[in-house]
Structure 1
Amino acid sequence: MLDWLSIVVLLLVGIVLIVVELIFIPGTTIFGIIGLLLTAAAVIVSFVGYGNALGFGILGIAAALLGITLFFSLRTGAWDKLSLKGSNQSRVNEEVKHNVWKGDRGIALSTLRPSGKVEFKETTVEVSTLGQYVDAGTEVRVVDVRPNKILVEPIVEG
């Protein structure tokens, strides 16, 4: 027979897993199912080990703890500091009509690691290198133009 500590641990871990499922990783269902099973195991063990009176007491405590925890977790914004609020609004030459052709020369406006921005004929374009790092201010040449990707290499004088 399990002691009270085991029942409390099963109950708390089950509730924590249910909250994790609902707030942090919704849609996976595995944490929610495991949490539900652990919470149910705590209630069943309390019924079997301690009788109906304490079993219903643990069932009520489990329901109340879960309800209170979910209410305060969702209502007070307690998890806002841990959740992502922003979204990526950047684009990589999406449907941009540019006049950049193979062989054109430009100046790197940012460090290309291996991608960044280059200015060609007063037009700023997102480009990539063939793997090398290019410092800002370096003159580059277009080696290939693909849909949504322009490949450049640094121009080495000498």
Structure 2
Amino acid sequence: MGIFDIFKKKNKSSIILSPTNGEILELSYVPDEVFSNKIMGDGFAIKSNDGVIVSPVDATVEMIFDTKHAMGLKTDDGLELLIHLGIDTVNLKGEGFEIFTNVGDKVKAGDKIMKMDVDFIKNNATSDISPIIFTSLEDGQSVKIVTGAVEAKEENRIEIVK
């Protein structure tokens, strides 16, 4: 980073918002080795208080699982994210989830895209901790987070660093 880089405005597409009211956690807290060991990529986890999930970025909806527990987003500059609500929630066959968008839709950071019934998930799945994975990071890139309590749409809590 050059000395004058500190004066540059952040590229809007690089701003990543907190996707829910609740808590941001390290991936190591996810009770599934595929996520906690970063096999699918780096990211962070959320524990939602109200189950409402907003898009963390401006993106196109690339994929929605039939079981409504997961969604893939892609930004215009190629950043790909997987939002996976809860652990072992695929077994719920869509029960406890709502989707507010469709494949191909353009969403803005902060748009409501998904919802999970937190109590139902806690009682019927392995965990309500939800990993959010950046599946297309370049070599040397990683995800830096500020853990702890968070409100939806908060900035400066999630950042991709090189």
**Alignment TM-score, normalising by the size of structure 1:** 0.22
Q: Greater helix share, 1 or 2? A: 1
TM-score by length of 2: 0.21
Structure ranking higher on relative contact order (CA contacts 8 Å, 6+ apart): 2
The structure carrying a bigger strand percent of its residues is 2
